[in-house]
A and B are shown apart, each in its own frame.
Chain A
């Protein structure tokens, strides 16, 4: 707490200094890395609601507040973060880190992004194993199984209704086939992903080809 209070008043002036240096083309690596680390650490520790929210907040921080990345470029970076495998929050930290400070930037911002969940889950895992058999903990967790099932089913319903509404027959077919393959036939998740990706690649290739021909 003491250290945080010490840093708060000076943060504004440090940011201003970095902004000036960037504007003048003089990058101070140490300050950029520090800013990257604390931004991703803070966002990762206090953002509930998943990766998409974090990416929006990263944009707000680095585009709107600090003006280190311009808006159009950020849109492309966000597209890269969302198109890549892995957690969107981590991917968002990677693109911003790479853009501002190369590989050291990636390392620093990823560290900032994963440190909070790492610490929180380490603590919870200790308590979980110690209190799993406790009557109160067990009753609450049992009830929550119904709650989390409902959360997942409602998320699936929202996502699936988007696909149904798009009236894209091939996508609809992919959804049904993958469900049957995975749930009833036990086909490996990775095969399902590779299969769907192959269909997507073929469709896109045909669209490009058709576009070039016409």
Chain B
């Protein structure tokens, strides 16, 4: 299958099945882009999530542009982005056209109510796939000497504290962890 068709279909699925906004698209992107097609390594995917956090724009659109660009240049980026927004365009326009104020809207909200816990679980699952290789060098949870990355664990704990207790802005927290690691690596390398 042509790479354009693959890009289009992969992002069509991402666009069609991500309900709930925010990180809801992340598990789907990971499954298609990292798992199924291997277009990005897990490390590149994590960088993409980081970049998406720090720039405006939805993560799915960012991912479509980034992956499309890497795989097949600007035409690839355009095709992946179109695939990603096509389901929205159709679904939302049809709903807006019929302007559902009555039962069907309640049905949709009811379905959405059950999707929310599923989406939370899948975001957690995708988050662990990012967290575990960041803390454990072999990519598997094991506290053997040399496998557990103590410095990264400290950055993670500091970041979690700043986010959850002190309610810092996520962008600021990520910039801080990046800066701390840069200082640490520079220290190790040059001192």
Taking Cβ atoms with an 8 Å cutoff, the residues of A that contact B are 44-48, 50-52, 76-77, 79-91, 94-95, 98-99, 103, 106, 110, 114, 116-118, 120-122, 124-125, 128-129, 135-136, 139-157, 159-160, 163, 170-172, 174-179, 182-183, 188-190, 192-193, 195-197, 199-201, 203-205, 207-208
B181 x A196 contact (CB < 8 A):
no
A147 x B46 contact (CB < 8 A):
no
B159 x A150 contact (CB < 8 A):
yes
Chain B residues with CB under 8 A of A136: 182
Chain B residues with CB under 8 A of A90: 58, 61, 85, 88
Report the bound CA distance from A121 to B112 in whole Å.
30
Report the bound CA distance from A170 to B117 in whole Å.
10
B130 x A145 contact (CB < 8 A):
yes
Q: Report if A152-B21 is in contact (Cβ < 8 Å); known contacts: A48-B56, A196-B115.
A: no
Contact of A118 among B65, B110, B123, B159 (CB under 8 A): B65
B88 x A84 contact (CB < 8 A):
yes
Report the bound CA distance from A51 to B74 in whole Å.
25
B27 x A196 contact (CB < 8 A):
no
Contact of B47 among A77, A94, A141, A151 (CB under 8 A): A141
Contact of A151 among B99, B119, B170 (CB under 8 A): B170
Taking Cβ atoms with an 8 Å cutoff, the residues of B that contact A are 13, 15-23, 25-28, 31, 43, 46-47, 49-51, 53, 55-62, 65-66, 69-70, 74, 77, 81, 84-85, 87-89, 91-93, 95-97, 99-101, 103, 105-128, 130-131, 134-135, 152-153, 155-156, 159-160, 163-164, 170-171, 173-182, 184-186, 189
Contact of B111 among A98, A103, A201, A208 (CB under 8 A): A201
Report the bound CA distance from A192 to B97 in whole Å.
29
Report the bound CA distance from A79 to B108 in whole Å.
10
Chain B residues with CB under 8 A of A88: 21-22, 58
Chain B residues with CB under 8 A of A103: 93
B122 x A189 contact (CB < 8 A):
yes
Give me the 10 closest cross-chain CB pairs, A-B, nearest first.
A143-B181, A117-B57, A204-B110, A200-B114, A87-B58, A86-B88, A147-B177, A150-B159, A196-B118, A147-B174
Report the bound CA distance from A110 to B69 in whole Å.
20
**Minimum C-beta distance from B64 to chain A (A):** 9
Chain A residues with CB under 8 A of B56: 44-48, 116-117, 120
Q: Report if A145-B118 is in contact (Cβ < 8 Å); known contacts: A77-B96, A139-B182.
A: no
Report the bound CA distance from A196 to B111 in whole Å.
8
Report the bound CA distance from A88 to B19 in whole Å.
9
Identify 14 residue pairs between A and B in the complex whose beta-carbon atoms are under 8 Å apart, listed by A's number.
A84-B95, A121-B61, A125-B70, A143-B182, A146-B177, A147-B50, A148-B53, A148-B174, A152-B26, A160-B124, A189-B27, A190-B13, A196-B114, A208-B106
